[in-house]
Amino acid sequence: MSVIAPDFKLSGFIKSLLDNIFWILTLLVLIGVPAIFIILFVIPLPIIDGELLSPFLAFAALVNPTRLLPIIHAFLTTDIFKVMVFPGFGFAVLLAASVIFAERKMMAKIQLRVGPFYCGKVEGVLQLMGDGLKLISKEIIIPAKADKPIFWAAPVLFVATAAAFVALIPVAPGWVVADIDLGLLGVFAVIGFFPIITILSAWSANSKYPFIGGIRALFQMVSFEIPLILSLLGVVMVTGTLNLSEISASQSNFPWIIFLPIGAIVFFITMLAELERIPFDLPEAESEIVAGWLTELSGMMYGLVQLGSYLKLYAFAALFVVLFLGGWNGPMVVPAFPEQIITEGIEMGPITLTIEGLGPLLHDTITQEMLNGTLWFVLKTAGVIFFIILPRGVFPRVRVDILLNLGWTKLIGLCFINIFIALGLVYAGVIGPGGLV
């Protein structure tokens, strides 16, 4: 048996611990406490629940954790929380990361392999974390004749654009980062930025394979944007709004996929092309052009582009759910919170734990509707993502001319059929204001 640290001494270990504690205390006294005072002096802090939010409340919260509840409640209603945690970036990154793992396991099962297995005790669940650590620790190599500013900026811009896309998606009633009236147009505007970033990244690498991949990505994305926009016009016609939250709320009785199945199918196909997934993964065709426009990206730059593309996948799947599958609507399966917990507290064993101030938290922010909507939204999105990654195990890659032919002739024709169906439904008085349903 090998010895990990042959020079290990217990006294040395304890000394290092004491050293650490000494330095933490010294730095806290010399830097931390003055920093708290500077914050108190400079920044006007909000008053929450009749109490000024000061850093010293952290010490009080150590003694009595329920004093944190009003602060948590106030934080949950801020825009920062929405942007960074729940309907925004954090939630989307969590889903995207689980999609990467699920995709690898699923591909393995389809192809009768094992897939990620060793990292982590159960079925390789920690594989993704290991991959992330590897990418962070790898050196970023930039080609000698690359155009450095654009090459550095492209991955960051890619993630930023994908995050802007995520910001437009309503997850539960009232839970959306940017609730604008022209949400769907905003989606179109954001989608238009992806080909620019792709081609700039590909060009700036100054290498043959990325450039070929970038050109392919450009014409694929630009030509599939047209059927994408046209296929969604049917939904806009029957709902009469461009606001994604209103579109989602309008499907409380039935999802639009029942009335507009052609639009849904066309949108799904264009979605596969915009996401560069098999069978339309020509821009990254690994058996033809190394890795396409990702060839020269290394280390965390590659990681960022991967993160951005999976965020984009989540956003597209969520958009499909919002437009065609009814968004957050679904049967109420989340049970109502028992009032007893809020008023009387929880009785456990010999003691009764009373939590005060839980009422506003459960009535305003984390409501039953919000939990139920999120549950249905996540379930539907997971289903759509499953169907997005399923073709990867089944289909071969299509040829370039077949792809363009499909996009420019068949899909656009189907889009117009879909628009005429929607117009017919509206003018026949089936849907819309004063309609039958």
Partner 1 sequence: MAEIVFLVLSVITIGSAIAALEMRSLIYGSIALMGSLGGIAGFFLLLDAPFVALFQLVVYVGAIAVLILFTVMLVKRELIFKKIEDKRRKFAGIGLMLIIMVSIGAVFIDSGIKTITTDEPPVNFRDIGADFVIYYWPALILMGLILAGTVTGALVLARRVDVEVDERTN
* Residue whose CB is less far from partner 1, 17 or 189: 189
* Residue whose CB is less far from partner 1, 229 or 307: 229
Q: Which two tokens stand for residue 352?
A: 């009764």
Integer Rg of the chain from CA: 26
| Candidate list 19, 181, 344, 356; residue touching partner 1; CB under 8 A | 181
192 binds partner 1, rule: CB under 8 A = yes
Compute the least distance from the CB of residue 417 to partner 1, in Å: 17
257 binds partner 1, rule: CB under 8 A = no
- Ranges within 84-113 binding partner 1 (CB under 8 A): none
147 binds partner 1, rule: CB under 8 A = yes
Give the binding-site size for partner 1 (rule: CB under 8 A). 23
| Candidate list 75, 193, 337, 386; residue touching partner 1; CB under 8 A | 193
d(CA 392, CA 108): 11
152 binds partner 1, rule: CB under 8 A = no
H or E element at residue 404: helix 400-405
Residue 280's CB is within 10 A of a number of other CB atoms, namely 26
| Candidate list 70, 155, 170, 186; residue touching partner 1; CB under 8 A | 186
Cα–Cα separations (whole angstroms), residue 364 to 76, 83, 172, 380, 410: 10, 18, 13, 25, 48
Compute the least distance from the CB of residue 49 to partner 1, in Å: 31
| Candidate list 100, 159, 166, 199; residue touching partner 1; CB under 8 A | 199
* Residue whose CB is less far from partner 1, 99 or 229: 229
First-last CA distance in the chain: 74
d(CA 208, CA 178): 39
H or E element at residue 348: strand 346-348
Compute the least distance from the CB of residue 196 to partner 1, in Å: 6
- Ranges within 203-242 binding partner 1 (CB under 8 A): 203, 211, 215, 218-219, 222, 225
DSSP state string for 40-109? HHHS-PPEETTEE--TTHHHHHHH-GGGHHHHHHHHHTSHHHHHHTSSSHHHHHHHHHHHHHHHHHHHHH
**Which residues are CB-neighbours of 427 under 8 A, at least 6 positions away?**
none
What residues line the site for partner 1 (CB under 8 A)? 147, 150, 180-182, 185-186, 188-189, 191-193, 195-196, 199-200, 203, 211, 215, 218-219, 222, 225
